[in-house]
Amino acid sequence: MSKLRKWTSFVLCVLLVGALLVGCGDDTKQNDQPNKPGTTQGTEDPSGQQNTPADSAKKLELETPVGTLTFPEEWAGDVQTKDTSADGTYAMSFYGTVNGADVLLFEIAIGAAEGGYQLGSAPDADGNMQPVWLNIKEIEAEPEWSEADTTRISTLQECVNELIYQLQQVDGFQPAN
- DSSP line for 5-29: HHHHHHHHHHHHHHHHHHT------
Q: What is the pLDDT along the chain (177 residues), one digit of tens a residue?
A: 444 444 344 444 433 333 333 333 333 334 444 544 433 333 333 334 333 333 444 567 889 999 999 877 777 678 999 999 999 899 999 999 999 999 999 999 999 888 899 999 999 999 999 999 999 999 999 999 999 999 999 999 998 999 999 999 999 999 998
Task: Return d(Cα 145, Cα 40) in angstroms, integer.
Answer: 28
Which residues are CB-contacts of 160 (< 8 A; sequence separation ≥ 6)? 11, 15, 94, 105, 106, 134, 136
Phi-psi region of 112 (alpha: psi -120 to 50; beta: other; left: phi over 0): beta
Task: Classify strands 80-83 and 129-135 as parallel, antiparallel or unpaired.
Answer: unpaired
